Amino acid sequence: MSSSYYPHPLIAREGWPYLTGSFVAAGLVTAVAGWAWAAPLWVITLFVLQFFRDPPRRVTAPANAVVSPADGRIVAVLPVTDPWLNRPSIKISVFMNVFNVHSNRSPVDGQITGVTYHPGKFVNADLDKASEHNERNALCLRTTSGHLVTCVQVAGLIARRILCYRQAGDHLVRGERYGFIRFGSRVDVYLPVDARVRVVIGDRVSAALSTLAELP
């Protein structure tokens, strides 16, 4: 499966109910009360439209590159213990604000060895404690070269819904869309300790296009 094609148009399928509702409401108020009263609703419609945009992405990085699973800003690069695989790891965290694309894409080519959902709180996803306390969903992946990588969707202060469409046993290719988080969140990637990190805190990254690290 090519990572450039998804089963939905340029607006993510998760956004169609919100976009339809806001458009209908704005249209009705415009027809009944005029543009002045409807203006705030049209602003909301434009916000919903930009939030749920989902442009196609084509991976061009080398085969050993770990690509970003999300659009956003790097907020953590540090050695930790992977809580899902219980091993020393390097954690790289990408924070998505409400203006970023919120589709989540696989950082590596590999098979999903496990999917674990953990309920939790909804503190600001920009804070590192969100990785431990917030609602989250983890994919454990075994790459085609045998490396283990964990990719964790983490809900945020406003985000209240993590969507994951894949299960254990499925195979993902880099850049392939596997989930979505609504309204501000983060994604944590746990890598082997010998991975060569290519980003620093503060870097802006794009899902499937930016390289987070390289595997040996």
| Residues classed as catalytic | 185
- The answer to whether 132 and 30 are in contact (CB under 8 A) is no
Q: Are 3 and 175 in contact (CB under 8 A)?
A: yes
CA-to-CA separations, 168 to 14, 50, 141, 157, 186, in angstroms, rounded: 22, 32, 9, 28, 22
How far is C-alpha 161 from the chain's CA centre?
12
What is the CA 103 to chain-centroid distance, rounded?
A: 5
Q: Is 173 helix (H, G, I), strand (E, B) or coil?
A: coil
The answer to whether the CB of 77 falls within 8 A of the CB of 201 is: yes
| Residue reference for tokens 């969903």 | 137
Q: Which residues of 10-48 are buried (b: 16+ CB within 10 A; e: fewer)?
A: ebbebbeebbeebbeebeebbeeeeeeebeebbebbeeb
Per DSSP, 71 falls in state S
Q: How far, in Å, CA of 99 to CA of 62, rounded? A: 29
Strand order in the sheet with 162-164: 103-105, 177-181, 162-164
